[in-house]
Copies of this chain bind each other. A is one copy, B any other.
């Protein structure tokens, strides 16, 4: 199903995505879901995709104008005046790609080609920005109230992000937080799988500060995974004990109706 998270910090942006793609449990593959474009000193734009792979690859290819020969290509994102307009362009492409597939397939195509995108980046002279783009082409933007977005299998990994996030946290702590979130999700949903892709974009960096592919045998990830289970157990043990006490209310009748 995918799991991707984009997070805004005071210091910049942190992204993490899985790479498992499947058409059924007997057909799984590894495909990158994180993409970026940068013009040093001017801008960096990054996005992560969830949903139908043919849809999302077509969107990326169209963004890079891979329908044309290399010498004729021109990526309009690299000249858009603001990240808002980048989001609008990506949203338009996403919506059209989905609608074309659906109309080509009639009733058989109902709901099958959908996808969503997390988009973020910074253009020189403006603040870093983070968006979640819907298959309908519209989008919402992160704010200090909601400074991160998740797409795909979001539920297992959400509570720890909510509790661990601090806007002034370091990049390293943010990556650690996302790894814990991904670890819980990987354990719970087989359609989310390793390796993971990580990217850190520093405010005013206009390029990736840190890019890494985290494989299953990654020593750090494995230490997070094994230690987190123990840490949770300790945290649970540290909570105050429950006691039956005096039952203040008599056991109720079942429906209390006649």
Contacts and interface: CB of A to CB of B under 8 A. Distances in A.
A243 interface: yes
A239 B258 CA distance: 56
A162 B189 CA distance: 14
B212 A172 contact: no
Give chain A's interface residue range (CB within 8 Å of chain B). Answer: 35 or more
Most chain B beta carbons < 10 A, residue from A158, A180, A229, A231? A231
A241 B187 CA distance: 21
A30 interface: no
Interface string A239-258: 11111100111011011011
A74 interface: no
A163 B57 CA distance: 37
Interface string A161-191: 0111000000111011101100010011000
Interface stretch (A58-66, A79-87, A96-104, A107-115): A58-66
Given A156-B156, A211-B247, A255-B61, A227 B239 contact: yes
A224 B57 CA distance: 45
Contacts of A57: 255
A126 interface: no
Nearest to A157: B159
Contacts of A70: 258
Contact of A235 (B234, B240, B243, B244): B234
A64 B158 contact: no
Contacts of A255: 32, 35, 57, 60-61, 64, 66
Stoichiometry (number of copies): 2
Given A70-B258, A208-B251, A254-B35, A188 B158 contact: yes
B242 A173 contact: yes
A66 B242 contact: no
A242 B173 CA distance: 7
A224 to B, nearest CB: 6
A160 B188 CA distance: 11
Given A208-B251, A255-B61, A235 B242 contact: no
A155 to B, nearest CB: 4
Contacts of A243: 172
A36 interface: yes
B247 A220 contact: no
A25 interface: no
